A and B are shown apart, each in its own frame.
Chain A
Amino acid sequence: MKRIQHLAASAALLMAAAGPALAQEAEGLDARVNAAFAAATGPFVSFIFAPLPGTAFPWIVMWLVIAATIFTIYFGFVQFRFFSHAIGLVKGDYSDPNDAGEVSHFQALATALSGTVGLGNIAGVAVAVGIGGPGATFWMILAGLLGMASKFTECTLGVKYRNEYPDGSVSGGPMYYISKGFTELGLPGGKILAILFSVFCILGALGGGNMFQANQAHAQISGIVGEYPGWITGVIFAAVVFVVIVGGVKSIARVTEKVVPLMGILYVGAALIILLVNYDKIGWAFGQIFAGAFTGLGVAGGMVGALIQGFKRAAFSNEAGVGSAAIAHSAVRTKEPITEGFVSLLEPLIDTVVICTMTALVIVISQQLIIDPTTGNYVLNDAGSAIATVDGNSGVALTSAAFGSAIGWFPYVLAIAVVLFAFSTMISWSYYGLKAWTYLFGEGKTTELVFKLIFCVFIVIGAAASLGPVIDFSDAAIFAMAVVNIFCLYFLMKLVRTELASYAARLKSGEIRKFEH
C-alpha cells in the first residue's frame, strides 16, 4: 500500500511539473473530454429535467417540493414541533453517560453536514441568484424549511433499517430501508427499487459529489493563479483523494475534518461582517428577495424562473429527499432511530436557511448583479440566459467577487475554503457511493478498490470538463436518486409515523428524560 501511495504522489508531482509545457495540447484534451462528456450524458439529463407538459416547469422540481410538503403535513409540522427537542439531542441532554464513546448525535450531524455544506452553498447559490435573481433566495428558504421534513423521514428510516455486522460496524441508507421496509410491509419490488437507487447513488457520487466539486475547485484555483488546463487540478486532487480513500492515510482526512468546520465558521463570520457593515441595505436586499420571488424583477423566466432556480439549488445544496444523509446518519448507535431523524432535520436549516441565505444576501448587497436604473429590473446578459454581472462572473467566481468587493483579501480565503469543502465533500460522497456499490456488488477488498479507482478517474474528468455539462449531469444524477427515494418514502412513511407517535407519547409521559451530566 505504501508503494501505491508513493507512486500516486510521484505521478501527481510529475504531471504538475510538466503541466505548463503540455498546456497547449491539454486545451485540446479538455475540449475533447468536455464534448464527449456532454454527448454521453445528454439524454439522461434531458429526461430528468423534462418540463411538465405545456409548461417550462421541470417535473423533478415539483416532485421534490410536493414530497417535502406532504411529509411536512403528514408529520404535523415535525420540523417546528420538535425543533427544540432536536437541539437538546445534539447538546447531549438525552445521551446516557454509559454510552459515552459511541458516535454522538452531534458527530453524526457534523459528518452529514460536512458532506452537504460546501460548494452548493457558495457556487450553487451564486448560480441560483445569477439566473433566477434575488427572488430565488425566497424559494430556496421555503424549500429548505419544507425539506427538513424529508430529511427527518429518510434519516429515521436509515437508522431503523441499517445492517449491523457482527464486528460492530454498520451500513445503512435508502437501499437498506427500501428493501427491508418493503418486505416488512409485504410490498413487492423493494429489491429492484433498492438496486435502482444504488445505481443512481453511484452516479450522484460521481457527479455532484465529485465532478462538480473538482470542476469548481479548479475554477477557483485558476481564478487566482491564472488559467491552466483543468486536468492538472484533476490529477492532483485525484492523487490526494486516492491516498486517503485507497491508501487509508487518515491524517489528511483528519486535518480536513478539523479545518472544514473552521472554514465554515470563517465563511459565515465573513458574511455576517459584510451584512453588519451594510446593515442599512439588508432591508433593501430582503425587499429585492420578496419582490423578485413573485415578479422575477425581469429575470429570464420571470417568477417561475426564480422559483425553479431556488428550489433546484436548495435541493442540490441540502440534499433533502435525495437519501444521501440517510447513509451518513445511520452510523449512530441509538435505541431510538427517530432521535436521529430529529437531529437530521437541523441540517437543511443550517445548510439552506442560514448559510445559503447569507451567501445570497452578500451577493445582492454587494450589487454584483446589474440593475437597470430606470426600470429597477435586472439586466440580462447578451445570451439572455442569466443576469449580467459587474465582471461577467458566474458560479463560485460571482460569490468570490461579492465577498471581495467588501473584504479585499477574502477571495484567497474563499479559494482555500472551496478547495477544502470540495475535498471533504468528495470524501463524504466517496463513502456514500461506496455503500451503494457494495450493496450491488458485495463487500470485499477488490470490489471496493474498483469503485475507488473509478471515483478518482472521475475527478480528473470533472476538473477538465466545463461547468455547463458537469452541473447538468450532477443535478440530474442527484435528482434521479430523489425520484426513487421519495417514491419509496411514500410507502414507508407510515412506519415513521408509528415511531413518532410512540416516541412523542413516551416523551410526554416522562419515560424519555434528560440525563444528568
Chain B
Amino acid sequence: MSTKLVIGLDGHSSGDRALEFAKTLATQIGACELLVVYVIEWSPYSFQTAEENAQRHKRREEEISTANERVVAPAVASLSDSGLNASGRVRHGNVADTLNSIAKETGASQIIVGRSTESGLSKRIFGSSTANLVMEASVPVTVVN
C-alpha cells in the first residue's frame, strides 16, 4: 500500500509553498498518492433567505467548479507533470473538520497545509483554521511557512 498525503489549499501563496513541499516529500517517499483538497468555508447552521435557499444548489455547483478550475485542477496538473500520482477534491464545510475527516476517510498518513492567511478579529476569537487543524487532527500535520 502506498503512502497517502492530503494537501489542503486555500488559494493563497502559502498554499503554493505547501504544494512545493508536498512535491519534494512525495518524491523522497517514492510510492505515494497525493490528494489535493480545497475546502469552501460553509456552515449548515447559517441563516439564509428563502430566495437564497432556492438558489443554493446552483450556487454550490458554481462554487465547486470555480474552486476546481482556479485552485485544485492547476495544482493536480502541476503534481502530475512532476510524475506524481495526484487527484483533487472540493468540499464544503469547516476547514479544519473537513480536512481531518477526509484524511480519516482516505486513510492518509499526513496532512500538509500552508500557514493560515486569516487575520483580524475573527482569528482572535475563533482561531485560525490551521491552528484548529493542528489541535484537532487525528494524523500528523505539517504546516508550511
Contact = CB atoms under 8 A, between A and B. Distances in A.
How many B residues touch the partner, as a band?
Answer: 20 to 34
Contact of B49 (A106, A253, A517): A253
A211 to B, nearest CB: 20
Instruction: Name the residue among A100, A327, A333 with the largest chain B CB count within 10 angstroms.
Output: A100
Contact of B93 (A100, A108, A169): A100
A258 B52 CA distance: 14
Nearest to B51: A431
A168 B50 contact: no
A169 B49 contact: no
Contacts of B42: 100-101
28 contacts: A95-B44, A97-B93, A97-B101, A100-B42, A101-B42, A101-B60, A101-B64, A101-B91, A102-B57, A104-B44, A107-B45, A107-B46, A110-B47, A111-B47, A111-B50, A114-B47, A169-B55, A169-B58, A260-B47, A331-B50, A331-B54, A331-B56, A332-B53, A333-B56, A427-B49, A428-B50, A431-B50, A517-B97
A280 interface: no
Interface in B57-88: 57-58, 60-61, 63-64
Interface of A: 92, 95, 97, 100-104, 106-108, 110-111, 114-115, 167-171, 253, 257-258, 260-261, 327-328, 331-333, 427-428, 431-432, 517
B54 A171 contact: yes
Contact of A169 (B48, B54, B91): B54
B27 to A, nearest CB: 32
Contacts of B60: 101-102
A107 B47 contact: yes
A226 B42 CA distance: 44
Nearest to A517: B101
B53 A111 contact: yes
A517 B51 CA distance: 28
B48 A103 contact: yes
Given A102-B60, A103-B53, A257 B44 contact: no
Nearest to A168: B58
A129 to B, nearest CB: 30
B40 interface: yes
Contacts of B57: 102-103, 168-170, 333
B92 interface: yes
Nearest to B92: A101
B6 to A, nearest CB: 15
Contacts of B46: 107
A258 B101 contact: no
A428 B50 CA distance: 7
Interface of B: 40, 42, 44-51, 53-58, 60-61, 63-64, 91-93, 97-98, 101
Contacts of A261: 47
Contact of B54 (A95, A104, A170): A170
Nearest to B55: A169
B44 A111 contact: no
A-B residue pairs, 3 tightest by C-beta: A101-B92, A104-B44, A331-B53
B34 to A, nearest CB: 21
A51 B100 CA distance: 63
B133 to A, nearest CB: 16
B18 to A, nearest CB: 23
B91 A257 contact: no
Contacts of A171: 54
A108 to B, nearest CB: 6
Nearest to A98: B91
Given A100-B98, A101-B42, A102-B56, 6 more contacts: A97-B91, A106-B44, A107-B47, A257-B47, A257-B49, A260-B47
Contacts of A257: 47-49
A168 B61 contact: yes
B104 to A, nearest CB: 9
A317 to B, nearest CB: 18
A259 to B, nearest CB: 10
A201 B42 CA distance: 33
Given A92-B44, A517-B101, A103 B51 contact: no
Contact of B50 (A97, A104, A115, A517): A115
A238 to B, nearest CB: 18
Contacts of A114: 47
Nearest to A110: B47
A115 B50 CA distance: 9
A104 B93 contact: no
Nearest to B57: A168
Nearest to A112: B50
Contacts of A427: 49
A104 B92 contact: no
A111 B49 contact: yes
A39 to B, nearest CB: 34
A327 to B, nearest CB: 7
Contacts of B47: 107, 110-111, 114, 257-258, 260-261
Nearest to B50: A431
Instruction: Name the residue among A104, A106, A260 with the largest chain B CB count within 10 angstroms.
Output: A104
A229 B104 CA distance: 64
A321 to B, nearest CB: 19
A98 to B, nearest CB: 8
B15 to A, nearest CB: 20
A107 B50 contact: no
Nearest to A100: B92
Instruction: Name the residue among A106, A168, A258 with the largest chain B CB count within 10 angstroms.
Output: A168
A100 B91 contact: yes
A327 B54 CA distance: 10
A162 to B, nearest CB: 9
Contacts of B56: 102-103, 331, 333
Contacts of A101: 40, 42, 60, 63-64, 91-93
A265 to B, nearest CB: 12
A332 B93 CA distance: 17
A254 B53 CA distance: 13
A108 B57 CA distance: 13
